Amino acid sequence: MHLLDQLEARGLVQQITDRDGLKAALDQGPVTFYAGFDPTADSLHAGHLVPVMLMRWLQQAGHRPIVVLGGGTARVGDPTGKDKTRDMLDEAAIARNLAAQRAQLARYLPEDGDNGAIFVDNADWLLPLRYVDFLREIGKHFSINRMLTAEGTRQRLERNQGLSFIEFNYHLLQSYDFLVLHQGRGCTVQVGGDDQWFHIVGGVDLIRRVEGAQAFGVTVPLLLTADGKKMGKTEGGAAFLDAEKTSPYDYFQYWLNVHDDDVEKLLKLYTPLGLDVIAELCSAGGAMLREAKRVLAREATRMAHGDDEAADADFVSRVLFGKGGLSADERATVVRTLSRSQSFDRTAVTFPISWIDAAVQAGLCESKGEARRLVQQGGARTWDEKVTDGEALVHEPAVLWAGKKKAALVVAG
């Protein structure tokens, strides 16, 4: 199967400016391609990874990625999909965000080897621009009438929300990025989200007008989950790649808890597994589907955080749903992993402490009386061990259970 056919079969392609032309270019030899990421936040989240996965597949096939970190365009702000002008970031914030995103993207797009990823900052060529020269040499190729028809611009104007002059320039700047990369690095393909189609076509057209050369644009779909949420969003915010914002365990749980109807689609988009393997994993429901979700969670977490973090998250997830007889080292792994979780209840206590007091402080029981009744009814546990004496002391960090589904971690305060 041709590489482009594979990418389409995985659901990674939404639109292509010239499919036959791109297919021929991929066959003729390694192409250089790019995608841009404006550092408007200090972390990417799972929803940002679809174009990154497309880039990853292209790189593994021998083509060379350029990652444009938009230190220049972040000073303007892409108006696409926004109801109002973005807040302006200062230079220090842009620098911090850029460094954080660069580290995250490098995990997916390695820099070593003959086709290692190239990371550049478009501030290097945008900030030194002389404005009048830019207007004369680049601005003359753009039609105001056409720019007004762009969906994002049209929606803003129709809603009487306005569009600042600085935002109106964003289209020129992103198009110019493509021209600079074409002239300096032989880049012929731009990849982006489908909401970037207008900007991407602008770059393709600018290269044709200025250089008389052919370039291509490819967009990936903008994803909604089966329950209507934007990909990467959770009830508590977003599934960030930053381990301080979303711990590896919470990131694993995000993928483990996706809607059943999304599992096959997400395995194709977010994992390196072959299509035949994915089809087999998703061929039946029940236990097979639960295992498919675990594979998805393990692969997605491994790429974001590495093998060790993925293994620990998988292990702890299994422990919390039935694995008993833990060794001291295994308990330490659980405590270390859950201590970083933003979603698992964690309470600082003073050891030693009675199980009843610990359960009340951790919020497992509303009162000591309720905790005593829970012990008498056989529903109290420390780790996997049933608690028969509510006054028995807990001496070290542990997972306490109230019934089969309610748990909390107590740690030293």
Residue 350 has a CB neighbour count (10 Å cut-off) of: 10
User: Cα dist. 148→82, 145, 152, 157, 172 in Å?
Assistant: 16, 5, 9, 9, 13
Task: Judge whether 195 counts as a catalytic residue.
Answer: yes
Active-site entry in 6, 18, 32, 86: 86
Please tell me which residue in 15, 40, 342, 361 is annotated as part of the active site: 40
Q: Is 265 a catalytic residue?
A: no
| Both structure tokens of 93 | 């914030």
Cβ atoms 82, 69 nearer than 8 A = no
Q: In the annotation, is 73 catalytic?
A: no
Query: Of residues 101, 104, 153, 174, which has the active-site annotation?
Result: 174
- Indicate if 199 belongs to the active site: no
Cα 344 to Cα 322: distance, rounded to the nearest angstrom: 17
From 195, 229, 347, 373, the catalytic residue: 195
Nearest by Cα to 177 from 255, 106, 121, 258: 121
- Active-site residue, 40 included: yes
Q: Which of 404, 3, 28, 29 is nearest to 16 (CA)?
A: 3
Q: Is 182 a catalytic residue?
A: no
- Name the 3-class secondary structure at 98: helix
Q: Which of 10, 48, 56, 75 is catalytic?
A: 48
Beta strands 118-121; 187-193: pairing state: unpaired
Annotated catalytic residue within 23, 102, 185, 233: 233
Amino acid at position 16, single letter? I
293 is catalytic: no
From the number of C-beta atoms within 10 Å of its C-beta (0-12, 13-18, 19+), residue 80 rates as buried
Q: Which of 234, 333, 342, 361 is catalytic?
A: 234
Q: List the structure tokens of 53.
A: 């996965």
Verify whether residue 188 is a known catalytic residue.
no
Q: Where are the beta strands (DSSP E) in 253-366?
A: 346-349, 353-354
- Token pair 């748990």 is found at 407
Tokens encoding 66: 């350029």
Q: Which residue is catalytic, options 19, 23, 82, 340?
A: 82
Write down the residue that tokens 């892409």 correspond to.
78
Return the H-helix or E-strand segment holding 90. Answer: none
Of the listed 10, 17, 45, 219, which one is catalytic?
45
Q: So which residues are the catalytic ones?
A: 40, 45, 48, 82, 86, 174, 195, 230, 233-234
